[in-house]
Amino acid sequence: MRYFSTRGAGPVSLDDALRQGIAGDGGLFLPERLPRFEVDAFDGAETIPAVAELLLGPFFAQSGLEPELCRILEETFSFPIPATRLPIDGHDVSLLELYHGPTVAFKDVGAGFLAACLSRLEGDVDDPLTILVATSGDTGGAVAAAFDERPGMRVVVLFPDGRVSERQAHQLCCWSDNVLSLKVQGSFDDCQALVKGAMADSDLSRRHRFSSANSINIGRLLPQSTYYADSSLRHFRRTGNRPGYVIPTGNLGNAFACVMAREMGLPIGPVILATNANRTIADYFETLEWLPRASLQTLASAMDVGDPSNMERLRHLVGEADVLREQLGIVSVTDE
């Protein structure tokens, strides 16, 4: 499988897309086409690693990592991801428990997978890869945990001073020498702009061998599509209905992974994006104008994003707002 930038550059191999994180032209990598599956292609796949091996196999075709995929998935899914029925009378509603990983964020799945891939591709202690991460709270901890003490890998985390919780601050700063955490006087968007700026500086980027572990890296999104695949297949086998998903949304990585699974033929019904007071996506669906803006600080700091990166992927894969709003719901919720 070959990968192209949303802005046209490419093709590159999966291995290079994972290494680079962001494309040279500033766009985001996507596979040249999405594989399509029938539901019965997953007959007999009863665990997430088994579903993931079938779903992700085509993305790893011709990658140097292909023979390792099974072991990479075992490493990634070292914790369970159950869907637990909620006691709501007359409604079949479940909570997809994405919080059983080491830092209690769903990002442990994507970060663990990316670390498992990159540590197989890289790992030269004399010429380390430097993962640059902007975080609004949860990403930095998950990435730091996944790369902590991995030889030949350095992590530099940028987080907005005073805008993460005490526990998040601890999770950002408690690691070994290969993880450096920097407080930035500003918002998440400022951190993200610094990371993008550093990576766009080709001289600096080559010298330090920068890569990204934000959800701009396709290596975060591929494994995230597998828990939608697994949980939708379970629900579909049990009830005959395609489950809908309500997805808390910030940088739009987790929701994009769900849309990707649906596009690949998984039995997924309505997808509803739930944002906090950061209304960039909601306003786009309403006015058809894409107007990124500074983020507002809310109680849900991990969702305080005013310029969601993965909208570029969503527009490339599905279409502009007039098409998107036919295919996705959106709800913006205030702190109250």
Ligand X SMILES: *Cc1c(COP(=O)(O)O)cnc(C)c1O
Using CB under 6 A as the criterion, which residues of the chain lie in contact with ligand X when the complex forms?
105, 107, 138, 215, 248-255, 302-303
d(CA 54, CA 37): 9
d(CA 216, CA 197): 14
d(CA 23, CA 199): 10
Residue 83 or 311 with smaller CB distance to ligand X: 311
CB of 139 to ligand X, least distance (A): 6
What are residue 224's phi and psi, to 5 degrees?
A: -65, -30
Task: Reduce the DSSP state of residue 274 to 3 states and report it.
Answer: strand
Cβ atoms within 10 Å of 259's Cβ, excluding its own: 25
Asked if 52 contacts 223 with a C-beta cutoff of 8 angstroms, the reply is: yes
CB of 237 to ligand X, least distance (A): 27
Q: Is 155 exposed, middle or buried (0-12, 13-18, 19+ CB in 10 A)?
A: buried
Asked if 159 contacts 191 with a C-beta cutoff of 8 angstroms, the reply is: yes
Nearest Cα to Cα of residue 244 among 233, 232, 255: 232
What are residue 280's phi and psi, to 5 degrees?
A: -55, -45
Residue with tokens 């040279």: 24
Residue 205 or 278 with smaller CB distance to ligand X: 278
d(CA 197, CA 175): 25
The widest CA-to-CA distance across the chain, in whole angstroms, is 60
